């Protein structure tokens, strides 16, 4: 009886002696030490951008080309993916027995894919692609007593861009976005037919990372 108990104690002791240290068994459980100075960089998942864009119509359109101002908010989902909501606003004209001033607003929801991984993360200049959907709103002024309709037209967009980091808090971006818009009649509100037309949008933007 005693010999069996002693053998059991010796086997347990031997197991403890040959077992690897806890630090070697679970290296991931040990917290990484902070960098020199004790400052840990905080994750900044949001990006707010202000831009200027030039929008042109690829095909027959009643509207003239225009310049737009834009405001964009992005949030990082993972290292590769970012969700974006944007608004752009500008003014143009179209011919309806004389030039009619028209306000144009673009509302967009997009997914941005940025290869911000590996050696590219430290390079400072990154290409990216994007795609999404939204609506293009046209609002004629209706001068001279004319009752002209405000149109909300669906659009699907895709494009590519390049971003350059400026320090740790800012980015400079250039984008080229192409969209397919279901354009409606700008004069006759009873006409529900739409025409598919493409737009080209070139944009430069300064973004703040926070």
Confidence of residue 23 (pLDDT cuts 50, 70, 90): very low
Q: What is the pLDDT of residue 92?
A: 96
Q: For residue 23, is it within any domain?
A: no
Average pLDDT, rounded, for the chain: 85
Do the Cβ atoms of 45 and 74 come closer than 8 Å? Answer: no
Residue ranges in the chain assigned as alpha helix (H): 2-18, 22-25, 118-121
Q: For residue 4, is it within any domain?
A: no
Question: What is the helix (H) or strand (E) element at residue 50, kind and residue range?
Answer: strand 46-58
- Of 55 and 18, more confident: 55
* Predicted confidence (pLDDT) at residue 19 exceeds the cutoff of 70: no
Q: Which two tokens stand for residue 88?
A: 């752009």
The predicted model scores a pTM of 0.78
Q: What is the pLDDT of residue 141?
A: 85
* Predicted confidence (pLDDT) at residue 30 exceeds the cutoff of 80: no
Q: For residue 191, is it within any domain?
A: yes
Q: What is the pLDDT of residue 200?
A: 98
Q: What is the pLDDT of residue 95?
A: 86
Q: For residue 19, is it within any domain?
A: no
Q: For residue 12, is it within any domain?
A: no
Q: For residue 64, is it within any domain?
A: yes
Q: For residue 121, is it within any domain?
A: yes
Domain containing 98 equals: 45-209
pLDDT winner (highest mean) among 103-107, 121-125, 190-194: 103-107
Out of 60-64, 89-93, 140-144, pick the least confident: 140-144
CATH number of domain containing 84: 2.40.160.20
* Predicted confidence (pLDDT) at residue 157 exceeds the cutoff of 70: yes
- Of 136 and 30, more confident: 136
Confidence of residue 43 (pLDDT cuts 50, 70, 90): confident
Q: What is the pLDDT of residue 16?
A: 42
Give the angle subtended at the CA of 200 by the CAs of 158 and 69, to the nearest 5°.
95
The structural domain count of the chain equals 1
Confidence of residue 117 (pLDDT cuts 50, 70, 90): confident
The closest of 85, 75, 64, 88 to 204, measured between CA atoms, is 88
Q: For residue 196, is it within any domain?
A: yes
The C-alpha atoms of residue 59 and residue 119 are separated, in whole angstroms, by 42
Backbone angles phi, psi at 128, to 5 degrees: -155, 165
């Amino acid at each position: 009886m005693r010999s069996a108990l002693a053998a059991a104690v010796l086997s347990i002791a031997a197991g403890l002696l040959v077992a690897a240290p806890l630090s070697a068994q679970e290296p991931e459980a040990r917290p990484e030490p902070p960098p020199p100075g004790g400052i840990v960089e905080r994750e900044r998942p949001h990006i707010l951008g202000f831009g200027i864009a030039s929008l042109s119509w690829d095909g027959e359109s009643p509207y003239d080309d225009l310049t737009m101002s834009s405001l964009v908010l992005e949030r990082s989902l993972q290292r590769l993916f970012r969700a974006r909501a944007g608004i752009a606003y500008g003014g143009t004209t179209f011919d309806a027995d004389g030039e009619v001033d028209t306000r144009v607003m673009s509302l967009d929801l997009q997914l941005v894919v940025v290869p911000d991984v590996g050696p590219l993360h430290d390079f400072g200049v990154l290409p990216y692609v994007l795609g999404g959907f939204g609506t293009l709103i046209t609002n004629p002024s209706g001068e001279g007593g004319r009752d002209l309709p405000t149109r909300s037209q669906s659009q699907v967009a895709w494009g590519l861009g390049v971003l350059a980091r400026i320090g740790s808090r800012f980015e400079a971006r250039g984008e080229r976005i192409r969209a397919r818009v279901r354009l409606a009649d700008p004069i006759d509100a009873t006409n529900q037919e739409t025409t598919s037309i493409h737009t080209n949008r070139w944009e430069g933007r300064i973004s703040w990372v926070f």
